[in-house]
Structures are given as structure tokens and as C-alpha cells.
Chain A
Amino acid sequence: MVPLSYYLVLSGILFACGVTGFLIKRNIITVFMSIELMLNGVNLSFVAFAAQWHALSGQVFVFFVMVVAAAETAVGLAIIIAVYRTRETLNVDRVNLLKL
């Protein structure tokens, strides 16, 4: 019997790691992966609460989060490739001017 708060703490740690990665990383792909990590942390808390209150809608919402994450990944990676084509760099600090 694991207390629910342990699951929530794990979810919080994952979310915090995602936020940290978003702030400190300079490679745009790694920043994107930190966003995915945040989404995963949130999924865990959804499923944990669904398990505690025996409500399956928590699980259903996890599907929606996953679908949104997939769509966002596809478009985001396409944007990254487009940015790489013009700027020739993946460092976010160098993509800071609207005009090249």
C-alpha cells in the first residue's frame, strides 16, 4: 500500500526536472524533451488520482494528453527542422533576432 502522496511527489519531481531542463538547456531539441518530461509527470498524477478515486475518466484524460503531446511533437519538430534550415544552428541563444 503506497500512499498517494508518494506518487504525487514523484510526479512533482519529474515536473520540476522538466522545468529545470526548460530553463537551463540551450539545445532546442533538449528543451522540447523537457516539455515532454513535464507532460509525463502530469500524466502520472492524473493516473494516480484516477486510481485513488476509482474514476476511469482520469485514464481517458491521459489519452488526450498523449494525443496532444504527439501532435505538438510533430509540429514542433517540423518547426525545429525549418529553423535549422535557415539559421544553421540549434542553440536557442542564437535564434534571438527576427531578422538573420
Chain B
Amino acid sequence: MLHLLVFSVFGLVCVAGAVNLLVQRHPINSALSLVVVMGSLAVEYLLLGAEFVAAVQVIVYAGAIMVLFVFVIMLLNAGVEDRSKGSRVAMLFGVPGVLIGSVLVAWVLVARSGTGNVAVGALPGPPKVIGWLLFHDFLLPFEVTSVLVLIAIMGAVVLANHPGSAQQRSTQPDKREG
């Protein structure tokens, strides 16, 4: 009973945050609602017993990725977004379409999925077991993702270093000195 209550409360917070992300016109409000969504998702993970994933969700997703988003919004001084013709058309057809689609999916899932109940904290194992899995069964994906992160770092550095920027002009040697 308490499980259902906590699940519903944080599920509602998730959905409210997601809808707020759509409704708000300024990106900073959307970013903060996304942080709220991630926080309540972390609580949902805790309910399922995935405490390590919940902690990593808060540290990585809400604490680093979303900070990056907020940073870029602050840096680029993004303003209130304006409504164009394209966006009005998309809203007219897109929102009802997605609503109908999701109601259909939800009905199928609840009525016919044939899956059972999940207890609180159903997932077994301390974080040690996850580490074991990461380094034994999933070693190849682990190494591949580390290469992926390396590529992402290099890509970000290259993209940030665009030629002719003030930083490059000031670090190039002064050619007038003979």
C-alpha cells in the first residue's frame, strides 16, 4: 500500500515535470523541470531496489549532464522561444497524435501485458555484483563505451576550438618580432 502510494506520488511528480518541460517557454524552466524528473526517477529506481543506479542517476544525470545544459543555457543567454508557423502545425497535429498513441500503448500494457507484480526492492545484489558483471560479462561493451567517451571528448574539444577565435589569435606567436 505504501509502495503504491510512494510510486504514485513520485510518478505524478515525474509526469508533472515532463509536462512542465513541454509547457514552459523559457529553456531554463524546462531544464529545471527535467532535473525534477530525474530526481523523482531516482526515487522510482530506489523503489525497485536499484540503489546504485539511483545514486548514479543523481550524480551523473542530474548532477553533471543537466548542469552542462544549464551552463549552456546561461552561456548562450537563450531567451523565451517564439512560436512559428511550423511549431503551431506541429502542436496541432503532434500533441493529440502522441496523446492517442500513448493512451493506446498504456491500455495495451495494463490490460494485456501478462506481467506480474514487482515488490519493493526486488533487485538483488549489492553494487559489488554490478561491478562483477561490468568487468566479466559486459567487458567488451565497457571498453567500447570508454572509447566512445574518448571520441566524445575529442569531438567536443575540436568543436570548441573553431579557427579565428580570439583565443587562437592571442596564443599564436607574434610574427612581427624578427
Contact = CB atoms under 8 A, between A and B. Distances in A.
Bound together: yes
Interface of A: 1-10, 12-14, 16-21, 23-27, 29-30, 32-34, 36-37, 40, 43-44, 47-48, 50-52, 54, 56-57, 59-60, 62-64, 66-75, 77-82, 84-85, 90-91, 93
B53 interface: yes
Nearest 3 pairs of A and B residues by beta carbon? A71-B152, A17-B18, A78-B159
A63 B3 CA distance: 25
A16 B97 CA distance: 10
B58 to A, nearest CB: 11
Given A5-B110, A63-B134, A68 B123 contact: no
A81 B118 CA distance: 44
**Chain B facing A: main interface SS:** helix
Contacts of B53: 43, 47, 59, 62-63
Interface residues of B, number: 84
B64 interface: yes
Nearest to A21: B22
Interface in B11-69: 11, 14-15, 18-19, 21-22, 27, 30-31, 34, 37-38, 41, 44-45, 47-50, 52-53, 56-57, 60-61, 64-65, 68-69
A7 B118 contact: yes
B117 interface: yes
Given A27-B81, A33-B69, A82-B162, A1 B3 contact: yes
